[in-house]
Amino acid sequence: MRSYRPLLALLAAFCSGALACEAPDDLGGAPWRVVVARIKHLPEVEAWADHMQRERNVVQYVLLMDEPKVLEKRCYWPVEVRADGRLWRRYLVTPDGKTAFEEKAR
């Protein structure tokens, strides 16, 4: 009897790669700076950041490269907006930087 293990291993490796999220800068994705800028330039984020900076707080935009999300078969990269290391909001952005929305707490 033939062993199908090598075939199954090859199929599993191929499928896992197909389901993985492509990082920005890879295969047509927007550069990392575009993904972060998409969040940084949202009107509510700009207003909040201005307020925080006037209060002398350090504002940070953190792209979580190790935590991509797949929602409805579409990849998103989390971008956290922080002041002095404390999380204010978390957004999800597509690798092309065209779609972004706030990730609501569950």
Contacts of 59 (CB under 8 A, 6+ apart): 49, 52, 53, 81, 82, 83
Phi, psi of 27 (to 5 degrees): 50, 55
Q: Would 26 be classed as within a structural domain?
A: yes
Whole-model pTM: value is: 0.73
pLDDT digits (tens, 9 = 90+) for 15-47: 444 456 776 665 455 678 888 998 999 999 999
Q: Would 15 be classed as within a structural domain?
A: no
Q: Would 33 be classed as within a structural domain?
A: yes
Q: Contact 62/80 with Cβ under 8 angstroms? A: yes
Residue 14's alpha-carbon distances to 1, 26, 47, 70, in angstroms, are 25, 18, 45, 18
Q: How confident is the model at residue 20, as a pLDDT?
A: 67
Q: Would 8 be classed as within a structural domain?
A: no
Q: Would 13 be classed as within a structural domain?
A: no
Q: Residue 69 is encoded by which pair of tokens?
A: 């999300």
Q: Which domain holds residue 97?
A: 21-102
Q: Would 45 be classed as within a structural domain?
A: yes
Q: How confident is the model at residue 30, as a pLDDT?
A: 63
Q: CA–CA separation, 106 vs 91, rounded Å?
A: 14
Q: Would 14 be classed as within a structural domain?
A: no
Q: What is the CATH number of the domain that holds 35?
A: 3.30.160
Q: Residue 28 is encoded by which pair of tokens?
A: 């047509």
Q: Contact 62/75 with Cβ under 8 angstroms? A: no
pLDDT band at 83 (very low <50, low <70, confident <90, very high): very high
Q: How confident is the model at residue 98, as a pLDDT?
A: 87
Number of domains in the chain: 1
Q: Would 87 be classed as within a structural domain?
A: yes
